[in-house]
Amino acid sequence: MLDKGNIVDMFEKGRVLKVCAPMVRYSKLAFRSLVRKYNCDVCFTPMIVASDFLRSVKARDSEFTTNEHDRPLIVQFAAHDAQTLADAACAVAPFSDGVDLNCGCPQRWAMSDGYGACLINKPELVQEMVRRVRNQVDNPNYTASIKIRIHKDLRRTVDLCQKAESAGVSWITVHGRTSDERHQPVHYDAIKTIKDSLSVPVIANGDIKFLRDVESTHQLTGVDGVMAARGLLSNPAMFSGYEDTPLECMWDWVDIAIEQGTPFTCFHHHLIYMLERVSSQPERKVFNSLSSTSGVIDYLQNTYGSVSDVGI
């Protein structure tokens, strides 16, 4: 377990960091606990709207849950003004290792509210937001990072990143697509250009489905870390080199989810993703229709074997 405040040191050890992306509904404490068992170095929370987080105790309790083993942890916020972001950072700083500003979410609601990918068109605002966090969080080791998408004119992206760097950004995660692109190929050349233009670490994001993709992305771009989203949902043990979700990992998820009181819908959805590549269509149809935790456990035992069968 890494000591608090040493995330930046991890970049300096000469290896490619393996990072769990911020995923709405999915990258919560239980799932973070699972991927940490399988060689994930750093985890992000789901994106949290900073203003709601500050305004509502209920929002804080539902959106941000952690424990002493949940480190290193980056809390990702959606915000569109510097003081709100800084206030939210100060609130979570005692329980985390850094905050990340979402500048990449392409969903219409986020962009219409001034959040997410629309911020890549406001480099001076992003610069001020990073600067305010750095000035107000009373911990020099606490990180302030941003996660972005790219512009069609890459010079604008480089300018944005250099402005953030001048404000003291700790690192930058680059999803190698524009805000209009969804399933198009990742622009690795753009990520490489951004990496070559900066002195701070860069993490690449987009289409990481297997462990081999981590190394190939590193070779193509020279980045310091690689972030996975859907690849980890399908196979939380991906960073340990498994091609598909191993049985042991599924049973680890059952244990963690039950221990942490994960709601059934979330518990079930994660297993639906994990079984996607290892089960037949008729099996998936049956599994997807299950409606209770006990039913899910019985199905897994009858179909794939009990906990003892996988040596846990």
Q: Is residue 28 part of a domain?
A: yes
Domain boundary pick from 240, 269, 291: 240
216 lies in the same domain as 73:
yes
At 62, is the pLDDT very low, low, confident or very high (cuts 50, 70, 90)?
confident
156 lies in the same domain as 268:
no
Q: What is the pLDDT of residue 310?
A: 44
Q: What is the pLDDT of residue 3?
A: 40
**Distance in angstroms (rounded) separating the CA atoms of residues 72 and 42:** 5
| Interval 260-271 mean pLDDT | 96
Q: Flag the least confident range among 180-184, 217-221, 246-250, 306-310.
A: 306-310
Task: Enter the pTM of the model.
Answer: 0.94
Q: Is residue 32 part of a domain?
A: yes
Q: Is the pLDDT of residue 263 over 80?
A: yes
**Distance in angstroms (rounded) separating the CA atoms of residues 308 and 51:** 47
Tell me, what amino acid is at 260? Q
Q: Which residue range is the domain that position 301 belongs to?
A: 247-310
Domain boundary pick from 194, 220, 240: 240
Q: Is residue 26 part of a domain?
A: yes
201 lies in the same domain as 259:
no
Residue predicted with more confidence, 47 or 7 = 47
Could you give the dihedral angle defined by the CA atoms of residues 76, 81, 84 and 85, in that order, rounded to the nearest 10 degrees? 30
Q: Is residue 44 part of a domain?
A: yes
Q: Is the pLDDT of residue 130 over 50?
A: yes
Q: Is the pLDDT of residue 126 over 70?
A: yes
| Interval 144-173 mean pLDDT | 98
171 lies in the same domain as 74:
yes
53 lies in the same domain as 159:
yes
Q: Is residue 1 part of a domain?
A: no
229 lies in the same domain as 259:
no
155 lies in the same domain as 93:
yes
Q: Is the pLDDT of residue 306 over 70?
A: no
Domain boundary pick from 198, 217, 240: 240
Mean residue pLDDT of the chain comes to 93
| Interval 241-250 mean pLDDT | 96
Q: What is the pLDDT of residue 307?
A: 52
Residue predicted with more confidence, 15 or 220 = 220
At 6, is the pLDDT very low, low, confident or very high (cuts 50, 70, 90)?
low
Count structural domains, the chain.
Answer: 2
Q: What is the percent of the chain with per-residue pLDDT over 90, rounded to a whole number?
A: 84
Phi and psi angles of residue 220, each rounded to the nearest 5 degrees, phi first: -75, -30
55 lies in the same domain as 189:
yes
Pair of tokens at residue 97: 């290792």
Q: Is residue 299 part of a domain?
A: yes
In the chain, count of helices (H) and strands (E)?
15, 9
Omega prior to 123 cis, within 30 of 0: no
162 lies in the same domain as 58:
yes
128 lies in the same domain as 197:
yes
Pair of tokens at residue 216: 């190939």
91 lies in the same domain as 59:
yes
Q: Is the pLDDT of residue 5 over 80?
A: no
133 lies in the same domain as 264:
no
The catalytic residue positions are 105
Q: Is residue 2 part of a domain?
A: no
At 7, is the pLDDT very low, low, confident or very high (cuts 50, 70, 90)?
confident
Q: What is the pLDDT of residue 219?
A: 96
- CATH code for position 97: 3.20.20.70
Three-class DSSP category at 127? helix
